[in-house]
Structure 1
Amino acid sequence: MPYFFGIGLHVFIAIFFAVHAMRNNQGIYWLFILFAFPLLGSVVYFFAIYLPGLRHSRGARVATQAITQLVDPNRALREARADFDRAPTVQHRMRLGEALLAAGNPREALEHFEAAANGPFANDPALLIGLARSQFALGNYPATDATLANLFSVNPQARNQGEPALLYARTLAALNAPGARAAFEQALACASDVAPRCLFADWLAAQPEAADRRRAGALYAEIVQDAKHWPRHAREHNREWLQRAQAALAAGAART
């Protein structure tokens, strides 16, 4: 009985890889290999086609990053610092600044971005967004606003990009500037994740108008509803915003 079960399992695996080969436009010869030699063919296909493709998938990259962060959370910062110490170029300085921001050290990150901004790369969009993120993390909202204004002047397309658009909206909200609502709407229009929706809902919930608070509740509800259909990597990526939306809805229900 185990012998026949083993044969059936080999064939099942071969069928799985055959479907994968057809969906990914692999050569028709793979079907012959998989069904003529179910066990050996499946092993060869796994290492030659399936595993390399899996390594480059988005889900695999997210999982790899999560595991790396868990096992060695300081690796990116350590490598960036080592590269900068070995060759203190502007690119290495910017990479170190990004690693410091990710590690929760915006003050040192700001020092590196400010140093890079005093050279020929002063108007580099990546440098300016890093500088603005550091300033925002330190609560220097007027400086963040000025840096983003510079970014938008040298790179107008940045207004339609997710990260700078959301950072601009958050900056105006922190400054209680009148353009915050329009900036959040713009951030929503070019969003690729849930953060702008949740942060806009947070801002709306703090407004005095009942209509704004109702819209905030609707945005929170949309996040929770959409999360039911997210794949695993999307749920992991947006975990913070989902939890905030759920907490906001629960708090609203408790008040009513």
Structure 2
Amino acid sequence: MRIFGISIHIIVALFFAVHAVRTHQNMYWLLILFLFPGLGSVVYFFAIYLPELRQSRGARAATRAITQLVDPNRAVREARSDFDRAPTVAHRMRLGAALLAAGEPSEALQHYQAAASGPFATDPALLQGLAQAQFATGDAAGALATLEKLFATNPQSRQQPDPALLYARALAATGASGTRAAFEQALTSASDAAPRCLFADWLAAQPDAADRERAQQLYADIVHDARHWPRHTREHNREWLQRAQAALGK
């Protein structure tokens, strides 16, 4: 049993040593881990590993998912409380964002419209939130106008993933010219599989056989790439992966 206990300490120390090397920690951690495998592992866990784990994307996503499951209205409730206590533009925008995330775009739109009538009318976050609320309530033309204003006052936002994709979707919804180019732009700044899947959806509905062929390729690329996604990426892209698989009949 004593030998088994020692071997467990060594295995744990080796695990943390590999982590230290991969994350470029100071090399004195290796000395601590190998000279004092039991105590060193405990110290490394609380000093390095646990804080990093808490800050990881996967941990944050898990925390958000648990919070949403246990108390789905918490974000809206807290944002509404802050706004009632101090009805500032910042608090109004935070409430609008929380309402959007909670699937309440109509109320969110009211808050964004009220905020847009003041001195922060050209604030990028405000304009983007307003466009999202407009699109979510079926006003694609209004979303286009808001995004055009955003791009005019903040040109770099045209290369950012969320406004670029929303612009392409709004163009597609209104049947406007420039939809293809907008989706191509969204692909260049993509941060997930959404632009590929939504562009493929649009291409699949076009009369040109070449467009439908490219749509199939985009769907196939999503399915292929999903094989190499870590768990949090797969979870984040679940909707787009399922849609791609359905389009391919898989």
Instruction: Output the amino acid matched with 1:226.
Output: D
d(CA) in 1 for partners of 2:33, 2:144: 59
Per the alignment, residue 116 of structure 2 pairs with 117
Per the alignment, residue 83 of structure 1 pairs with 82
Gaps of 5+ in 2: none
Q: Tell me how far 1:87 sits from its aligned partner.
A: 1.2
Q: Tell me how far 1:73 sits from its aligned partner.
A: 1.5
d(CA) in 2 for partners of 1:28, 1:217: 49
Per the alignment, residue 229 of structure 1 pairs with 228
What is the percentage of aligned positions where both structures have the same residue? 73
Per the alignment, residue 191 of structure 2 pairs with 192
Superposed, 1:1-256 pairs within 5 Å as 2-250=1-249
Instruction: Output the amino acid matched with 2:140.
Output: Y
d(CA) in 2 for partners of 1:59, 1:228: 18
> Aligned-pair RMSD on alpha carbons?
1.2
d(CA) in 1 for partners of 2:67, 2:231: 18
d(CA) in 1 for partners of 2:33, 2:177: 64
Q: Tell me how far 1:28 sits from its aligned partner.
A: 3.0
Q: Tell me how far 1:37 sits from its aligned partner.
A: 2.1
d(CA) in 2 for partners of 1:22, 1:234: 24
Instruction: Output the amino acid matched with 1:175.
Output: T
Q: Tell me how far 1:26 sits from its aligned partner.
A: 2.7
Deviations 1:172-216 (A, max 9, x none): 100011111111111111111100000000000111111111111
Give TM-score, length-normalised by structure 1.
Answer: 0.94
d(CA) in 2 for partners of 1:61, 1:178: 40
SS in 1 for 2:192: coil
d(CA) in 2 for partners of 1:154, 1:68: 36
Deviations 1:64-113 (A, max 9, x none): 21222222221111111111111111111101000000000000000100
Q: Tell me how far 1:58 sits from its aligned partner.
A: 1.5
d(CA) in 2 for partners of 1:101, 1:114: 14
Q: Tell me how far 1:115 sits from its aligned partner.
A: 0.6
Instruction: Output the amino acid matched with 1:92.
Output: H
Q: Tell me how far 1:23 sits from its aligned partner.
A: 2.8
Q: Tell me how far 1:239 sits from its aligned partner.
A: 0.2
Where does structure 1 differ by over 4 angstroms across 4 or more consecutive aligned residues? none
d(CA) in 1 for partners of 2:201, 2:76: 32
Q: Tell me how far 1:32 sits from its aligned partner.
A: 2.7
Gaps of 5+ in 1: none
Q: Tell me how far 1:165 sits from its aligned partner.
A: 0.7
Instruction: Output the amino acid matched with 1:32.
Output: L
SS in 2 for 1:178: coil
SS in 2 for 1:229: coil
Give TM-score, length-normalised by structure 2.
Answer: 0.97
